[in-house]
């Protein structure tokens, strides 16, 4: 431990925040890469910075990187096409079947390719992401066989691969439920006060999108209060 | 033939122009995807449009797409980092050994991922690119095993893969030399008057970068005059 360097694909949400805490506990050098991809949840980026500030205050250094890429140029998703609505008020049993409207065509393929380029430029060993499939299995680009095949492609298609200093794709949350992710994060001291998950992208989470529903269930089952809501209440923004 | 749809990754250069002529001869629906990636050779894009116009005038319909992505945000290459020089005045024997300074970290991984997203959105069967390794073997992300592994990753990571309507990655030029590429294009009626290859990105090709040197050799060995230079001479821009 504490020997290698990591690049965490960091949206600022619950899963990638958990990964970031895991990384600062396990790597000597930590980079984050946040994509500004024209998503509805732009507010995530501001929150992402605040989460990194919290970790820096705790004495850990983090190199933040941003990459601007406008996926509205492709469209085809409720997150990158204003003509497609984010599904709301669904019950838990409706979530997780089929590919959801919030699926962005090959988003994780695009993000992993860009992360690989950054990893090569910054000489990083491991690329870490918060992909998981337990609660929400509809995203094809979150599955282990996809991630492993992308890792193989990355090492065939980069200078790093040729030089036999492979880049590893690491997915510590892949088989964890939201409940387990919250517990895992809390064990590593995660503070979720600014870890934002809502698809709607407003300051106060909607509480009704798939992401909000799963998060609520996760915190409840793990037996923790949601730091984000606790903070909002403290700030008088939520009753 | 003439049953499927294709998306050609189209820089406007010699190789992708050859692929485009091959595609219009073999597919019923043809899309092009041109990346505006902050490259030195921005002039390529204007030329790309002119090549498409030539094909349209010959009665073939083409749907052009553009995707803006600023790879200067990553850097690390003579093509995306102003601090790194394009190698010049090299002899043929210096070309093709090791990874060249013009290698853009994982560029083809990034481009293929974005092309896969477009292919999924536009319901395209085949993604075609002009990758080849014979004359210029230094780019790791032009090799067949890389391309095949990316294809596998694309079909594991997209809705199309889940629905068992796989996206194919097609590389008709992979084992062709520049001479063979020119011959292959000419057999399909390719007009290279606007197919621009120079790394320098000025209207008149420099004649001295690796790309110019290999192109010159290719036309010479194939026994054709370079349409691009013929046009420049006609326009009085070159003696």
Chain B residues closer than 8 Å to A110 by CB: 110, 113-114, 117
| Phi, psi (degrees; rounded to nearest 5) at A153 | -60, -40
Chain B touched by A167 (CB under 8 Å): no
Of B182 and B70, the one with more pLDDT:
B182
Cβ–Cβ < 8 Å for A83, A1: no
Chain A touched by B140 (CB under 8 Å): yes
Q: What is the residue-averaged pLDDT of chain A?
A: 88
Chain B touched by A105 (CB under 8 Å): yes
Please check the confidence at residue A63 and state whether its pLDDT lies above 90.
Answer: yes
**CA pair distance A195, A191, nearest whole angstrom:** 8
Q: Show the CA angle centred on residue B176, arms to residues A160 and B209, nearest 5°.
A: 65
In a domain, B239, yes or no: no
What is the pLDDT, as a whole number, of residue A93?
59
Give A197's pLDDT tier (boundaries 50, 70, 90).
confident
Q: Rounded to whole angstroms, what are the CA distances from B68 to A94, B1, B188, B238?
A: 36, 32, 30, 32
Q: What is the residue-averaged pLDDT of chain B?
A: 88
Beta-bridge mates of residue B66: B34
**CA pair distance B175, B136, nearest whole angstrom:** 11
What is the pLDDT, as a whole number, of residue B201?
80
Give B20's pLDDT tier (boundaries 50, 70, 90).
very high
Token pair belonging to A236? 């008088």
Long-range Cβ contact pairs of A148-153 (< 8 A, separation 24 or more): A149/B149, A149/B152, A149/B153, A149/B156, A149/B157, A150/A108, A150/A109, A150/A112, A150/A113, A150/B153, A150/B157, A152/B149, A152/B153, A153/B109, A153/B146, A153/B149, A153/B150, A153/B152, A153/B153
Q: Which residue of B has its CA nearest to A99?
A: B159
Chain A residues closer than 8 Å to B158 by CB: 105-106, 109, 140-141
Chain A touched by B174 (CB under 8 Å): no
- Considering CB atoms only, which of A70, A99, A161 is closest to B140? A161
Choose among A126, A136, A130: nearest CA to A100: A136
ipTM of the complex: 0.89
Chain B residues closer than 8 Å to A76 by CB: 117, 120-121
**pLDDT digits over A102-120, tens only?**
778 899 999 999 999 999 9
How far apart are the CA of A77 and the nearest CA of chain B, in angstroms? Answer: 9
Q: pLDDT > 70: what percent of chain A?
A: 87
**pLDDT digits over A74-91, tens only?**
877 776 766 777 666 566
In a domain, B31, yes or no: yes
Q: Which residue of A has its CA nearest to B142?
A: A157
Chain A residues closer than 8 Å to B112 by CB: 113
Cβ–Cβ < 8 Å for A176, A169: no
Q: Rounded to whole angstroms, what are the CA distances from A213 to A56, A88, A198, A210, B95?
A: 30, 10, 9, 5, 57
Q: Which residue of B has its CA nearest to A105?
A: B117
Chain B touched by A103 (CB under 8 Å): yes
**CA pair distance B24, B30, nearest whole angstrom:** 6
Cβ–Cβ < 8 Å for A125, A168: yes
Give B49's pLDDT tier (boundaries 50, 70, 90).
very high
H helices, E strands: number in chain A: 8, 5
Chain B residues closer than 8 Å to A71 by CB: 117
Does A112 sit within 8 Å of B120, measured CB to CB? Answer: no
Report CA dihedral (B115, B121, B122, B125) to the nearest 10 degrees. 60
Chain A residues closer than 8 Å to B31 by CB: none
Mean of pLDDT values over B12-36: 95
Q: H helices within B82-174, ranges in order? A: 107-122, 144-156, 159-162
Please check the confidence at residue B87 and state whether its pLDDT lies above 70.
Answer: no
What is the pLDDT, as a whole number, of residue B164?
85
Please check the confidence at residue B167 and state whether its pLDDT lies above 60.
Answer: yes
Q: Model-level pTM?
A: 0.90
**CA pair distance B119, B111, nearest whole angstrom:** 12
Please check the confidence at residue A203 and state whether its pLDDT lies above 70.
Answer: yes
Does B162 sit within 8 Å of A156, measured CB to CB? Answer: no
Mutate which: B157, B160, B162, B163, vs A, most A CBs within 10 A: B157
B166 secondary structure, DSSP code:
P
- Considering CB atoms only, which of A75, A110, A149 is closest to B113? A110
How far apart are the CA of A35 and the nearest CA of chain B, in angstroms? Answer: 11
Give A41's pLDDT tier (boundaries 50, 70, 90).
low
Chain B touched by A159 (CB under 8 Å): yes
Choose among B143, B187, B156: nearest CA to B21: B187
A157 secondary structure, DSSP code:
S
Q: How many structural domains comprise chain B?
A: 1
Q: What 3-state DSSP class applies to B35?
A: strand
**CA pair distance B53, B206, nearest whole angstrom:** 25
What is the pLDDT, as a whole number, of residue B194?
96
The range of the structural domain enclosing residue A132 comes to 5-234
In a domain, A167, yes or no: yes
Cβ–Cβ < 8 Å for B114, B157: no
**pLDDT digits over A8-26, tens only?**
999 999 999 999 999 999 9
Task: Please identify which residue in the block is written with the tokens 């008709």.
Answer: B172
Specify the CATH number for the domain of residue B188. Answer: 3.40.50.620
Does A153 sit within 8 Å of B149, measured CB to CB? Answer: yes
What is the pLDDT, as a whole number, of residue A163?
86
Does A154 sit within 8 Å of B162, measured CB to CB? Answer: no
Please check the confidence at residue B205 and state whether its pLDDT lies above 80.
Answer: yes
Does B162 sit within 8 Å of A140, measured CB to CB? Answer: yes
Q: Which region holds residue A195: left if phi is over 0, alpha if psi is between -120 and 50, else beta?
A: beta
What is the pLDDT, as a whole number, of residue A55?
95
**CA pair distance B141, B147, nearest whole angstrom:** 7
User: Which residues in chain A (77-96) have CB-CB distances under 8 A to chain B?
Assistant: none
Give B88's pLDDT tier (boundaries 50, 70, 90).
low
**CA pair distance A179, A136, nearest whole angstrom:** 13
Q: Show the CA angle centred on residue A14, arms to residues A8 and A18, nearest 5°.
A: 50
In a domain, B222, yes or no: yes
């Amino acid at each position: 431990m504490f020997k290698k360097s990591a690049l965490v694909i960091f949206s600022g949400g619950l899963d990638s925040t958990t990964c970031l805490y895991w990384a600062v506990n396990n790597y000597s050098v930590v980079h984050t890469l946040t994509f500004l991809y024209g998503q509805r949840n732009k507010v995530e980026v501001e929150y992402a910075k605040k989460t990194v500030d919290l970790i820096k205050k705790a004495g850990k250094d983090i190199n933040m990187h941003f990459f601007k890429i406008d996926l509205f140029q492709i469209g085809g998703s409720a997150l990158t096409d204003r003509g497609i609505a984010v599904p709301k008020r669904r019950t838990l049993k409706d979530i997780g079947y089929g590919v959801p409207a919030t699926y962005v065509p090959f988003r994780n393929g695009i993000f992993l390719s860009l992360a690989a380029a950054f990893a090569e430029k910054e000489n990083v060993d491991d690329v870490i992401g918060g992909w998981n499939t337990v609660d929400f299995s509809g995203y094809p680009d979150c599955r282990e066989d996809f991630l492993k095949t992308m890792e193989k492609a990355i090492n065939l298609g980069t200078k790093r691969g040729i030089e036999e200093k492979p880049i590893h794709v690491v997915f510590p949350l892949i088989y964890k439920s939201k409940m387990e992710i919250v517990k895992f994060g809390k064990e590593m001291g995660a503070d979720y006060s600014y870890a934002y998950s809502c698809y709607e992208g407003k300051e106060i989470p909607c509480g009704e999108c798939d992401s909000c529903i799963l998060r609520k269930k996760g915190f409840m089952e793990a037996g923790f209060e949601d730091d984000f809501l606790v903070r909002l209440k403290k700030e008088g923004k939520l009753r």
